[in-house]
Amino acid sequence: MLVDIEARDVTKYQRARLAEGAANRTINIEVAMLRQIMRKYGTWARIQSEVKMLPERQDVGRALFPEEGSILLYECRKSRSRLLLPFVIVALDTGARYSTIRTLQWRNIDLANHCLKFGKDKTQAGTGRTVPLNRRAVETLKSWAQQFPNRLPEHFVFATEKVGAAGDPFDAKVV
Do 139 and 117 form a contact (C-beta atoms < 8 A)? no
Cβ within 8 Å of residue 46, ≥6 positions away: none
pLDDT score, position 45? 95
Q: Where are the domains of the chain?
A: 1-62, 66-162
pLDDT score, position 151? 94
pLDDT score, position 80? 84
Backbone angles phi and psi of 43, in degrees to 5: -115, 0
Do 87 and 101 form a contact (C-beta atoms < 8 A)? yes
Q: The pTM is what? A: 0.61
DSSP string, 137-156: HHHHHHHHHHT-TT--TTSB
pLDDT score, position 28? 95
**10 Å Cβ neighbour count for 68?**
11
Do 137 and 90 form a contact (C-beta atoms < 8 A)? yes
pLDDT score, position 96? 85
The rounded radius of gyration (Å) of the Cα atoms in the chain is 23
Residues of the chain with pLDDT under 70: 59-61, 120-126, 164-175
Q: What is the pLDDT of residues 147-166, one digit of tens each?
A: 999 999 999 999 887 776 66
Superfamily of domain 66-162: Intergrase catalytic core (1.10.443.10)
pLDDT score, position 160? 83
